[in-house]
């Protein structure tokens, strides 16, 4: 399988690899992301691929995810925060699987997968669409989903800021670790917004 595979082929293979719940969530993210891509003028095909693959490693064991990431970048030094948080690992591991097993070599598609949980600095349109779609897809029930969905239709950065604030507040309240990439994403929106 390579990056020229059709959406239907990618979808079929993803379906075989994910649990039913995860697959339904993935389809919800894909539909939402495609709709945002049409609205904001992003490549719908690339967005669909990033969305279909964004949670491809979500059900892997922590050991498997760590192995994948370390094999992919043997010389990289990863923070303890990153290595011991499955929620952070699955996004990075997912990008490795997308490249190695699905032949994806498009940087935007891979970064959409890699940044979908934490966000990060310098996010392009595709990455921002996947980040927002993951939070607002129709199967989501978390607090703030409805408001985030409304904002996404008006201003993608406003939706990103709203979601990042919810996530950061959630992590602070639970005294959980926060990756600096998330803070960077937050700062960037604050600095760049028009007001
Ligand atoms: Fe995820
Ligand atoms: Fe997801």
Convert the pLDDT of each residue in 159-176 to its tens digit. Answer: 999 999 999 999 999 998
Q: In this predicted structure, what is the pLDDT of residue 193?
A: 83
What are the structural domain ranges in the chain? 7-192
CA of 50 to the centre of ligand 2 (A): 11
* pLDDT for 2 beyond 90: no
Q: What are phi and psi of 56, to 5 degrees?
A: -60, -25
pLDDT-derived band of residue 155, with 50, 70 and 90 as boundaries? very high
Residue 57: how many CB atoms within 10 A of its CB? 24
Nearest to 181 by CA among 79, 93, 71, 33: 79
CA of 54 to the centre of ligand 1 (A): 6
Q: In this predicted structure, what is the pLDDT of residue 85?
A: 79
CA of 92 to the centre of ligand 1 (A): 10
- pLDDT, greater one: 176 or 95: 95
Q: What tokens does 126 get?
A: 């595709």
Q: In this predicted structure, what is the pLDDT of residue 183?
A: 95
CA of 193 to the centre of ligand 1 (A): 27
Which ligand approaches the C-alpha of residue 91 most closely? 1
Which ligand approaches the C-alpha of residue 51 most closely? 2
Give mean pLDDT, residues 14-37: 97
Q: In this predicted structure, what is the pLDDT of residue 1?
A: 43
Task: Please give the CATH superfamily to which domain 7-192 belongs.
Answer: Hypothetical protein af1432 (1.10.3210.10)
When the pLDDT of each residue in the chain is averaged and rounded to a whole number, the result is: 93
Predicted TM-score (pTM) of this structure: 0.94
- pLDDT, greater one: 3 or 184: 184
């Amino acid at each position: 399988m390579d990056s020229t595979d059709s959406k239907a082929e990618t979808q079929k293979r993803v379906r075989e690899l994910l649990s039913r719940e995860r697959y339904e969530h993935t389809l919800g993210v894909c539909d939402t992301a495609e709709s945002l891509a049409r609205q904001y003028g992003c490549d719908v095909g690339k967005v669909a691929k990033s969305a279909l693959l964004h949670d491809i490693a979500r059900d892997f064991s922590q050991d498997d995810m760590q192995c994948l990431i370390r094999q992919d970048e043997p010389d990289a030094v990863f923070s303890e925060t990153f290595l011991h948080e499955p929620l952070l690992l699955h996004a990075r591991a997912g990008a490795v699987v997308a490249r190695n097993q699905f032949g994806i070599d498009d940087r935007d598609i891979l970064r959409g997968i890699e940044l979908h949980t934490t966000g990060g600095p310098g996010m392009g349109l595709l990455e921002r669409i996947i980040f927002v779609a993951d939070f607002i897809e129709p199967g989501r029930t978390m607090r703030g989903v409805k408001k985030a969905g409304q904002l996404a239709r008006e201003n993608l950065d406003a939706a990103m800021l709203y979601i990042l604030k919810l996530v950061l507040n959630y992590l602070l309240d639970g005294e959980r670790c926060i990756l600096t990439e998330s803070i960077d994403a937050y700062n960037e929106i604050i600095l760049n917004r028009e007001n």
